[in-house]
Amino acid sequence: MKIKKETYAESNSLFYFTETLKVLKSTNSNGASKGHEAVFSDTVKTTVVSTFKMYTRRLVLVLICLSINIGVKASCISEDLLRTLLAKGSCKENVDKPAFFAFLKSDLTSSGTQVIKFYNVKINKGDHYNPTTGMFTAPRQGIYQVSCTIVGYDTHVYYYQITLNGTPYTLGNTSSGGSWNSQTSTVLMDLKKGDRVYVEHRGGSQKVHANTNSYFSGYLLQ
């Protein structure tokens, strides 16, 4: 309703302004007195001032709307830019999170302390797992989930451990009784850059079953 009133007022002002000019022109052409000219002159001034104020207010409103619109567009651009930076810039680390998954390539008989080398690599994002050494080297600090599954060959009870930089982190073994028993160990590790994690056989002489039964895996959580 307010917009309609302003539009109506604007139309009346323009109409009155135009009609006043017509009357003034007609009066001057017919030789009207100076008194009448003064009256008409004051009327014109009043009309011009009121019309100017009205258009000034409307101009201010337009400028405010434009600034809000520009601000919204700038905000949208900023948000789009932020998403782009997060996707391609600082969040590149999230895109390239290290992860690996490798199977034991063939049955293995172990004696004493021995690193188990999982040669059949299926995933090695970032190439931080080395199948030649059987070790995963953390490329940066973070919380990692590391897991391994060991299947004892036939009736063998296989003793193993997940090792961090030469120190046992968790111990495990396949159960006795029956055959082809398996054991899975999954741990969370707060690793620093350069830390090495691997699976070792610990003591005795046992045989582990390979193929796709025994594996070693890990990935960065955060």
Q: Which tokens in the block code for residue 185? A: 């160990």
Q: What are the phi and psi torsion angles at 56 (to 5°)?
A: -65, -45
Identify the pLDDT of residue 43.
60
Cβ atoms within 10 Å, residue 124? 16
**Boundaries of every domain in the chain:** 2-88, 96-220
Structure confidence at residue 62 (pLDDT): 60
> Which among 198, 121, 136 has a CA at the least distance from the CA of 163?
198
pLDDT in tens, 94-103: 568 999 999 9
Average pLDDT score, the chain: 79
Strand partners, 186: 147
The stretch 18-43 carries a mean pLDDT of 54
Taking only the tens place, the pLDDT of each residue in 51-85 is 666 666 776 566 665 665 655 454 555 667 666 65
pLDDT (tens digit, 9 = 90+) per residue, 164-211?
A: 999 999 999 998 888 899 999 999 999 999 999 999 999 888 999 998
136, HSE (Cβ side, Cα atoms, 13 Å): 33
> Residue 112 pLDDT > 60, yes or no?
yes
Question: Domain 96-220 class?
Answer: mainly beta
